[in-house]
Amino acid sequence: MGNRLEDKVAIVSAAGQTPGDRLGPILGNGRATAMLFAREGARVLLVDRRPESAEETRALIAAEGGAASVFAADVTRAAECRAIPERCVEVFGRVDILVNNVGIGGGDAGLLKLQEADWDRIMATNLKSMFLMCQAVMPHLVKQGSGAIVNISSIAAIASMNLIAYKVSKAGVNALTHAVAMGAAPKGVRVNAIMPGLIHTPMAIEGWAEATGKTREEIVRARDERVPLKGGMGSAWDVAHAALFLASAEAKFITAAVLPVDGGQSGLIG
């Protein structure tokens, strides 16, 4: 246990976990981030549209002596987004940190095969939700004159890939981060983004296994081989530690930044 977020209150969206490895050793980004924040002294509101999954995260935090509460919400809906910080203030008295972690890629394809409904669903989940959450939480941060927002983007925003909606949505997250950061800076609120590369999470492995019919072992091996840094894919803890840094006072002079956490994958561009 540390104190880098002592006396802080954080909201983490998608704080549950993709079914498949629900309580296994491999964690998703949201669960790892929520657990790490709690270990560093934060009280955490765990937001997920599947509250039973967020409840598993809460139990893990409680087992380590941390404090967390679960709130069920669909972050693609404005009214439900507005209710999230209200609930956080009701339970914990304030809001200091928002981690926008929701993201999907299922149903995506190249230009000629991508369906309009899938485009709309991915854009709503990956980009619109972050706009709505920033919009809902920002007044609370501005009122107290401080706070930090961390948006989870993806290296897909700048790398070549054939999943067009996912790529465009994550590029939009980077642009949204910059725009919101510059508007919030005079008010003392910092806004940054993280671009994870190939991370070994249940969502990534289970999703590709279902989409391609390949075994999990084949998928893990292929993803490991694409990472320049020795050791292969990163873990959700790598993303969580980056989020912790950006949310903490150690990053008090950092805003509008987009941080790759990708084992050097972005270095291959160019």
Phi, psi (rounded to 5 degrees) for 107: 90, -5
Q: Could you tell me the residue range of the domain that residue 25 belongs to?
A: 9-261
Residue 112 lies in a domain: yes
In a domain, 3, yes or no: no
Q: Tell me if 20 is assigned to some domain.
A: yes
| pLDDT computed for residue 24 by the predictor | 52
Task: Tally the domains of the chain.
Answer: 1
Quick check: is 1 in a domain? no
Report, as an integer, the average pLDDT of 5-27: 81
| Chain segment 83-98, per-residue pLDDT in tens | 999 999 999 999 999 9
Instruction: Spell out a b/e string for 131-155, using b for 16 or more CB atoms within 10 Å of the CB, else e.
Output: bbbbebbbebbeeeeebbbbbbbbb
Instruction: Examine residue 104 and state whether it is found in any structural domain, yes or no.
Output: yes
Task: Kindly list the distances between the CA atom of residue 172 and the CA atoms of 66, 154, 156, 180, 181, in Å, as whole numbers in the listed order.
Answer: 34, 11, 11, 12, 14
* Residue 234 pLDDT grade (very low, low, confident, very high; cuts 50, 70, 90): very high
In tens, the pLDDT along 105-115 reads: 989 999 999 99
pTM of the model: 0.95
Active-site residue identified among 148, 166, 204, 247 = 166
**Chain mean pLDDT for the chain:** 94
Mean of pLDDT values over 155-175 = 96
Read off the CATH number of the domain in which 81 is found.
3.40.50.720
Question: What pLDDT digit, counting tens, does each position of 132-150 carry?
Answer: 999 999 999 999 999 999 9
pLDDT value of position 268? 92
Whether 268 is covered by a domain: the verdict is: no
Q: What is residue 47's predicted lDDT score, i.e. its pLDDT?
A: 98
Whether residue 55 is contained in a domain is answered as yes
166 assigned to active site: yes
pLDDT category at 25 given cuts 50, 70, 90 is low
134 located within any domain:
yes
